[in-house]
Amino acid sequence: MSHTVLVSPQTKILLDALAALLQLPQPTVIERALVVYRDSLSPEDQAALEAFCGRAMQKREDLISKAAWQTAGTGQPKAIYESSRFCFKRDVIEKLNPGEEFRMITPVGVFQMSKADFYREFPNVVASESYKRGVYNYPRLPSKGEGFRLS
């Protein structure tokens, strides 16, 4: 699954330039830069980073496992994505038919709704420039979102 990461305009320009110069996709450029940085660390710092990453991966796996357990008996959605915030991803949602559902897994809960629910309950998001560009993030869970939380 891909994740959206917000970066400063200067960082975006540098990333675009590196990707163009190396003729590689941006995620590959980022991954290579992180590997080089990791390899430059002392063995102790590398071990600490590996331990941190291991805990983060376990937390992510626990969250996905919990989402599967919480949703036993609910209709299986057509699309599932993860996000660090309550957010709507245009490329996922717009591919759905009105009655098809999508599931959003976030650190604060698992949410599921149909495309029709989304259009009805979040018309301001649909009309926003952010959503039209691809992603609309809420800094905090909106009250309307609670109605779609899976328990």
Which is nearest to 53 in space by CA: 78, 107, 45, 141? 45
Q: Are 109 and 129 in contact (CB under 8 A)?
A: no
Distance CA 76, CA 135 (A): 23
Q: Strand 109-114 relative to strand 79-82: parallel, antiparallel, unpaired?
A: unpaired
pLDDT tens, residue by residue, 58-110 = 777 776 666 665 555 556 788 988 888 899 999 999 999 999 999 998 888 88
Q: Strand 135-138 relative to strand 86-89: parallel, antiparallel, unpaired?
A: antiparallel
The whole model's pTM is what?
0.57
Identify the residue with better confidence: 84 or 111: 111
pLDDT at residue 1, as a whole number: 46
Distance CA 49, CA 41 (A): 9
Which is nearest to 49 in space by CA: 59, 37, 61, 60? 37
